[in-house]
Amino acid sequence: MIKVYPQFEEDLLVRLFHKGVKSQWTVEDVNWEDPIQFNEEQAHALARMLTPVYLGEQSAMIGASVALPQMAGAGETTAQLYLSSFLMDEARHFEVLTRLYQRLQADPLTIRQMPEMLRYHNRLRKGDRLDWVWGILISDIFAKNFYSLYAKSQPEALFGKLSGRILKDESRHQAFAEHYLKGALPTVPFERYKVLLDMKDELLMIMDAMYYRLRDDAETVGMDGRQFLDRLREDIETKARRIGLDETKGPDSREGRRKIVPGFGKGVASSSSHSPLSFKALKPAKCTTCYLALLCQTPLFRRAQCV
């Protein structure tokens, strides 16, 4: 897994890594005296609604620490480089949201109160690094839509400003996941392709279940939860088609389909991309001194219709 001098090529992931390094910020850069712009009831409703996002930041941090050695083992050097900055981002979001709960004087929901969160977390942990990146992309789209609401509606409030900061990080995370999946999906077999489609539907169903528990809180803070989820589903479906994960077109319809091999974006052409081997293309040998001549004398070859 560990290489002293691994293959290293300048690509989008390296540029995203540089951008992330230059954009680092900490909890100390936040003005925690900024107004909240929520009354007590709304603050508690926001704390409840923020819980799935809060757990999502923790899940992403833990998941990245598992996916990183897998990428190292596959020789995906620039992906593991970028993921190091991704870990820093998620750790920062986790710390900042913890501090926000203290400022709101409210607690997040527990797993007992919303068990769907555990189902969501466990689904992200299943499978390999490809499953994880796809799950992270779905989660990041959810986070982008959620944070965008407050970055736009409360630009001068504490949570609005925090949302604006976090959105910049999330945009890099989405770019990473989209780039990674675009490179990997053309190599996956049909069975693997179907698992990823099913994963998307499963996560969306869990999101619907979480909304059902939070619909009163959404109304309290003036959010149309149903409209939010409809827009989220549309965004995820659009992103899926963009990366090549399209329910209307199976992987067998893709030109130049390749077999999966370790390493993102690498593959070998399958035999289906070449003319099929035929005995009619062979001619019987005229000599008796080579290995092929011995094959020509076998019953199988003699039964073939040689030309």
pLDDT in tens, 158-199: 999 999 999 999 999 999 999 999 999 998 898 999 999 999
Nearest C-alpha neighbor of 52 from the set 169, 211, 231: 211
Structure tokens at 269: 């052409």
pLDDT at 276 over 60: no
pLDDT of residue 246: 81
pLDDT of residue 220: 96
Nearest C-alpha neighbor of 206 from the set 118, 94, 90: 118
**Average pLDDT of the residues in 148-163:** 96
Q: How far from chain centre, in Å, is Cα 248? A: 21
The model's confidence at residue 255, banded by pLDDT at 50, 70 and 90, is very low
Residue 286 DSSP symbol: S
Say if residue 25 is exposed, middle or buried (CB neighbours under 10 Å; 0-12, 13-18, 19+): middle
Measured distance CA(122)–CA(113) in Å, rounded: 17
pLDDT of residue 126: 87
| pTM value surpassing 0.85 | no
Higher pLDDT, 235 or 295: 235
Nearest C-alpha neighbor of 164 from the set 146, 191, 180, 178: 146
Going by DSSP bridges, is the β-strand pair 267-269/258-260 parallel, antiparallel, or unpaired?
antiparallel
Amino acid at 80: Q
Amino acid at 50: L
Question: Which residues pair with residue 259 across a beta bridge?
Answer: 268
DSSP string covering 102-133, please? HHHT--PPPTTT-THHHHHHHHHHSS-HHHHH
Q: CB 47: neighbour CB atoms within 10 A? A: 21
Q: What percent of the chain has pLDDT over 90?
A: 71
Question: Which residues pair with residue 260 across a beta bridge?
Answer: 267
Average pLDDT value for the chain: 83
Residue 262 DSSP symbol: S
**Average pLDDT of the residues in 29-37:** 96
pLDDT of residue 5: 78
Q: CB 204: neighbour CB atoms within 10 A? A: 17
pLDDT in tens, 82-130: 999 999 999 999 999 999 999 999 999 999 999 999 999 999 988 899 9
Residue with tokens 């107004």: 35
pLDDT of residue 69: 92
Measured distance CA(170)–CA(159) in Å, rounded: 16
Q: Identify the three-state secondary structure at position 235.
A: helix
Nearest C-alpha neighbor of 236 from the set 259, 205, 211: 205
**Average pLDDT of the residues in 6-28:** 91
Q: What angle do CA 187, 259, 15 make, to 5 degrees?
A: 35
The model's confidence at residue 253, banded by pLDDT at 50, 70 and 90, is low
Higher pLDDT, 2 or 110: 110
Higher pLDDT, 282 or 44: 44
pLDDT at 291 over 70: no
Task: Give first-to-last CA distance, the chain, whole Å.
Answer: 51
Measured distance CA(19)–CA(32) in Å, rounded: 26
